[in-house]
Amino acid sequence: MRKTHLKSGLSAAALALGALATPALAEAPILVTTAADTGAGSLRAALAAAAEREGGAQIAIVTAEDIEIAETLDYAGTGPLTILGNGQTISTAANTTLLAASAGADLTVTDLTFRGPGGFDIEARGDLDGATAGKGIFVDVRDDQQGTVRLTLDNVTVAGVANHGVHVSDCSLADACGGGGGGAGDGSPASIAVHLNAVTIDDVGNGKFDADGLRVDERAGGDIRLVALDSTFTRVGADGVELDEGQAGHVIATIRGARFVDNGAYCHPDLLAAFMPEAPEGEFEAGARAEADIPGDVTGTPDDRCFEREVDLHDDGSVAEYEIGIDVDDGIDFDEAGAGDLRSLMIDSEIRGNFDEGVDYDEEGAGHILASYLRATGTGNADDAFKHSEADAGGVVGAMTASIATANGGKGAVFEEEDGGDVTVTVTGTITGNNDDGDDTGLELVQEDAGAGAATVTGSTLADGIDAEGVTVTRD
């Protein structure tokens, strides 16, 4: 990490002026010359001044001191904003969002740390008694935005906030937008592009249910595009990264040199197991069990949202089966619920010790899942290391090369298609072992409906075997 302070305000100003003088933004950068929270020369004053510039602005933080704030630093302008730091920390002792672009402006931040008060967990929440849990960096997309909203973070750390570490929201339901299928909420026509380089997101999202390291919510016709290079997502309460594309657009991600480690423990099973019913699941013949006779919703816990209850009924209204579980989360979770594709390339990345799946990709609708891995390692995750599930007419195309999936509580890798799409998977030079119970748990390939299924496994050691349903497997 490049975290060295300039000792001279003059030299910092000279650097900023040289680096930031571009034809697109001809006005001089606004300089932050004091660590004070308010007043002339403060970062808060610089943000207010930047909002007055119609074409956007650049801010250079030239004070060598760290900055402590009492309330959110808000940029209310619509023009693109660049904030150039030099290793300083922006911190708060309050449960508040540190930096917000409240009018959906393009935002670039370099060489800064954003640190909240920390100390959050399910027993010390940040959303009780009417409080709004604070985020690290928040971009709120306007309803009428067009084109692409861009967030670029370079050498940035976010830590110690109760809510999402970094959140870009193009969803009318705000924090209630939710993830997974359904695509609830409305949004603008804009796409969202997030570029992370040397970013660390650590110990965030532990003060609120379903609070992620990086969260992007997109509705209407736009895409989500993510580039994450040499970045780390650790000890996040929910997913290390969640991209939630709820309607027509695509999810397109390139991930290289990333680490997703020890995420998803806000609803820690060790803390919540005592609240589980004695019989958390059951299966019954028709007419044998009424819904009133099975356990109801779990209540009276530190956070009742941590408990999932699913009930399937027979045609006569009696219970076919039910299951109650604790909702832990993933290392990286992509959801695409409309006509768009989910496309991901992951290289030289580690997915380890997450409390649910390591990688969890779900697509509903006509779009496809296209997922490729090169030298990716998934180990010690509580469920599957790499899971891909397509629920409708789209297909699943997967490629794993020189990758590893070992010692996971679920399968090493899963590629499944529940409807008419095809499953096409190639596995080359890959190792699996000691996943789940070791009985055909290295690789699961499923085509449940009318589509075709074909997999080729070459030069690989799948010590715990292959479970294939509706998929023809060719091995060397």
- Is a pLDDT exceeding 90 seen at residue 430? yes
Contact 34, 93 (CB under 8 A): no
Confidence of residue 25 (pLDDT cuts 50, 70, 90): low
Asked if 189 and 218 touch (Cβ cutoff 8 Å), the reply is no
Residues 375 and 472 both lie in one domain: yes
Q: Which of 131, 262, 308 is nearest to 208 (CA)?
A: 131
Q: Is residue 284 part of a domain?
A: yes
Identify whether 237 is part of a domain: no
Are both 390 and 451 inside the same structural domain?
A: yes
Q: Tell if the pTM clears 0.75, that is, is over it.
A: yes
Let me know whether 318 and 413 are in one domain: no
Residues 372 and 312 in one domain: no
Residue 455 confidence (pLDDT) above 60:
yes
Same domain, 378 and 476: yes
Q: Does any domain span residue 353?
A: no
Judge if 315 and 373 occupy the same domain.
no
> What is the C-alpha to C-alpha distance for residues 107 and 138, in angstroms, rounded to an integer?
10
With beta carbons less than 8 A apart as the criterion, state whether 340 and 367 touch: yes
In total, how many domains does the chain have? 2
Percent of the chain residues topping a pLDDT of 70: 93
Domain-embedded: residue 321: yes
Tell me which amino acid residue 9 is.
G
179 confidence band (pLDDT: 50, 70, 90):
low
Angle, alpha carbons 87-90-93 (nearest 5°): 145
| pLDDT tens-place string over residues 306-350 | 999 999 999 999 999 999 999 999 999 999 987 889 999 999 999
Residue 107 domain-assigned (yes or no): no
The confidence band for 3, taking pLDDT boundaries of 50, 70 and 90, is very low
Structure-model confidence comparison of residues 419 and 328, the more confident one: 328
First-last CA distance in the chain: 44
What integer pLDDT is reported at residue 189 of this predicted model? 86
Q: Establish if 109 belongs to a structural domain.
A: no
Q: Got the DSSP string for 111-168?
A: EEEEE-----BTTB-SS-TTPPPP-SEEEE--TT--SEEEEEEEEEEEES-SS-SEEE
Residues 458, 398 share a domain? yes
Q: Do 401 and 455 belong together in one domain?
A: yes
390 in a domain, yes or no? yes
What H or E segment, with its residue span, contains residue 194? strand 191-197
Q: Strands 453-458, 423-428: parallel, antiparallel or unpaired by DSSP? A: parallel
Q: What is the per-residue pLDDT for 75?
A: 98
The average pLDDT across 2-13 equals 37
Range of the domain at 406: 368-476
CA distances from 52 to 56, 74, 76 (A): 8, 13, 9
Contact 88, 62 (CB under 8 A): no
473 and 373 belong to one structural domain: yes
Pair (314, 375) in one structural domain: no
Sorting pLDDT into bands at 50, 70 and 90, what band is 183? low
Distance CA 382, CA 448 (A): 25
- Other CB atoms within 10 Å distance of the CB of residue 393: 16
311 located within any domain: yes
451 and 391 fall within a common domain: yes
Is residue 97 within 8 Å of residue 72, measured between CB atoms?
yes
Mean of the pLDDT values across residues 219-233?
Answer: 93
Over the chain, what is the mean pLDDT? 92
